[in-house]
Chains A and B, each alone.
Chain A
Amino acid sequence: MLQTVHPARTRPGAGFATGAVLTALLLGSVVVAVGIGSVHVPAGDVIDVVRGRLGLPAEGVTVIDDRIVWQLRMPRVVGAAATGAGLAIAGAVLQSLTRNDLADPYLLGVSGGATVGAVSVIVLGVSVAGLVGGAALGAGAFVGALVALALVLMLATGRAGDLPPARTVLAGVAIGQLCAAYTSFVVMISGDHDSARRVLAWTMGSLAGVRWQSATILLVVALGALVGIIAYAADLDAFAFGDASASSLGVSIQRVRWLLMVGTALLTACLVAYTGAIGFVGLVVPHVVRLVAGPLHRRLLPLSALAGAVLLIWADTAARSLLDGQEVPIGVVTAVFGAPLFAFLLRRESRSR
């Protein structure tokens, strides 16, 4: 079990050192990732574009280079970092709240509901608040995620207003299955070749549509969530010992669980609306961070955010540069690179016991 708490194994300095390394890695990743893409832009030109945009003297920046580096790549890198950070903290919180190693940000039906919304827009042409194109797709996904979340909460909430973890997980599974059935039905019956392609592209997740406006929103949402959730770090630590112990430690169990579950689900719904459901990050990053820095949430949460940001920056960089001139779905990249890395860490962990 990865989840169980081993306060003794937590080395005091580990969190700080890991944090410093990850922060350096994050900044370095942003710089390097902006220089990589399907079109080769020489490093000097990339630097000139960025210098020019930051108001520093820069020479000979062409319009094409500026568009590619500053208007396409930079917002994607920022958006990827924010999304990765958000997914990782959502996963960490939900794993602690439910005491379930398999919990991920989409636990409460968010991805299923978002897909229902997206499919309704893509295949059935449902319009959301008069929006068209990408905006309608994002709005549809967000609304779908909220409806699914509401259904899961209705199913899971007990008479006393409590939210037992096991029942919540199962309610999420049930609603998820229902959403999947709807999605398959609509695509098979009403979708043509082209809309099926667009649905598939959406469900695999992508940061291809992220521009400065959406990148800024993603960043604000992720940072806000991080700050808000870290305030509950001590409460989350208490949850790891079980509801009874947490309550004896003075945690208002029902209120905190509701708040954090709904909060992380809303965070995930925001991310999904812009990027589609990107798997693996929210599931794996918190586990890896726990292996390195221990389970205390005041370390786990910021370190997960940093690690998630770095991971998704590189996953997105691979997604946009791996195939010559074509996009690879980012969900494929996170799984292909994430799964072996995770398996390696698991083996190492099992041997060290």
Chain B
Amino acid sequence: MTSSRRTRFLPALLALPLALTACGGAPEAESKEAGGDHYPVEPTSCGFTSTISAPPERAVTMNQGATEVMLSLGLEDSMAGTAYLDDAVPEKWRAAYDSVEVLSKEYPDNETLLKAEPDFVYGSYASAFGDEAAGPQDELEKLGIGSFLSLFGCDENQPSADVSFDSVWKEIEVVADVFDVEDRAEALQDEQEKVLEELAESRPGDGLEVFWYDSGDRTAFAGAGEGGPQLVLEAVGATNLFADLEGGWADVSWERVVAADPDVIVLADASWSTAEDKIAMLEKDPVLKDLRAVKAEAYVVLPFSETTPGVRLADGAVSLGKQLAELG
């Protein structure tokens, strides 16, 4: 049983995307009698494969993104702890979130994590498995604790997944596979596909040039061509001013923003850089206050966590579409 499962997972080491599709669509979703032949499951990301031999009952999530994937799958009862919020958990998952213990404000250290007796640790960024946090994944594996690092969170030694809605759904599939709840992942994906299709038809951002202002003052940290901001803007049919820049975000000089004079400014609302502060800055600056979008107050505000690759990206697109429609 183990060996046949292994053989099927061999390609995972060579071609991660292929393997993920294979395991997401695999027939074990139907055969569910008492764990059945579903386990072991071997979630792979960023060059590391963990072996899960039973559905985790005491999962710990190290970052908000990971926490939200779990909550979107309704797995709060299988969780022993959460950590490190960037901003607020959305209203729809609030009650579920509150039912799980918060281990620490940022990353919990080794001792605190072990004390929670986790059987599965799930992080969004490579730093979650740093020495000051959960510790390396292979060390956890030695202690019999499974782990998974987000497909988007690899360190520089391994390429992260391309930022796309498909990758977001792939990650949800892998996590659902670990907990043997693939049907929930499918339902979630169907739901998100539906709202994205509706946006693609109505195109509320059609013809609008958008400056995505994430943070920064001396220079603007702007949404670039290869990340969450670009995906969200594409989903509503808007044009990203800095789509030609590499990476998810990039530092740009204010000169370029002034020269382009965008139609709309999207403001990411994060605890370290609130939308309110950014609006105040734009309206006070002697040059920026004359931008068309600033004069017309053509602002769209999105929570930061709806702009990073993850389960809330689709919510970000919906919210952007709605706010653009309201701006008229």
**Could you list which residues of chain A lie within 8 angstroms of chain B, going by C-beta atoms?**
37-39, 64, 67-68, 72-73, 121-125, 127, 132-134, 136, 192, 194-195, 197-198, 201, 206, 208-209, 211, 320, 324-327
Contact = CB atoms under 8 A, between A and B. Distances in A.
Given A72-B111, A325-B103, A325-B112, A127 B130 contact: no
Given A194-B125, A198-B130, A326 B110 contact: no
B244 interface: no
A46 B223 CA distance: 52
A122 B131 CA distance: 13
Contacts of A127: 157
Given A123-B156, A125-B157, A195-B156, A326 B106 contact: yes
A132 B112 contact: no
**Interface range for B:** 20 to 34
Given A67-B114, A209-B131, A194 B104 contact: no
Interface in B94-110: 103-110
B132 interface: yes
A64 B114 contact: yes
B40 interface: no
Given A194-B125, A198-B130, A325-B103, 18 more contacts: A72-B110, A72-B114, A73-B111, A124-B156, A125-B157, A125-B158, A136-B157, A194-B127, A194-B153, A195-B156, A201-B130, A208-B132, A211-B139, A324-B104, A325-B104, A326-B109, A326-B112, A327-B133
Nearest first, the 8 A-B pairs at minimum CB distance are A125-B156, A209-B131, A325-B112, A325-B104, A208-B131, A327-B132, A194-B125, A39-B111
Contacts of A39: 111-112, 114-115
A39 B107 CA distance: 15
B1 interface: no
A326 B105 contact: yes
Contact of B107 (A132, A209, A326): A326
B56 interface: no
A127 B106 CA distance: 29
B309 to A, nearest CB: 12
Given A37-B111, A64-B115, A326-B104, A206 B156 contact: no
B135 A320 contact: no
Contacts of A320: 109, 111
Contacts of B25: none
B126 A208 contact: no
Contacts of B111: 37-39, 68, 72-73, 320, 325
19 contacts: A38-B109, A64-B114, A68-B111, A68-B114, A72-B110, A72-B111, A122-B156, A125-B158, A127-B157, A133-B138, A192-B247, A198-B126, A201-B130, A201-B132, A326-B107, A326-B109, A327-B107, A327-B132, A327-B133
B47 interface: yes
Contact of A195 (B114, B139, B155): B155
B117 interface: yes
Contacts of A198: 126-127, 130, 155
B110 A208 contact: yes
A40 to B, nearest CB: 9
Contact of B117 (A64, A194, A201, A326): A64
Contacts of B135: 209
A209 B131 CA distance: 5
A247 B47 CA distance: 58
Nearest to B139: A211
A218 B49 CA distance: 31
B105 A194 contact: no
A62 B117 CA distance: 12
B237 to A, nearest CB: 28
Given A64-B115, A324-B104, A208 B109 contact: yes
Nearest to B129: A133
B143 A134 contact: no
Contacts of A208: 109-110, 131-132
Nearest to B117: A64
A38 B133 CA distance: 13
Contacts of B138: 133
Nearest to B84: A326
Contact of B143 (A67, A121, A133, A206): A67
A319 B156 CA distance: 28
Contacts of A132: 47, 157
Contacts of A134: 131, 136
Given A38-B109, A127-B157, A325-B108, A197 B131 contact: no
Nearest to B153: A194
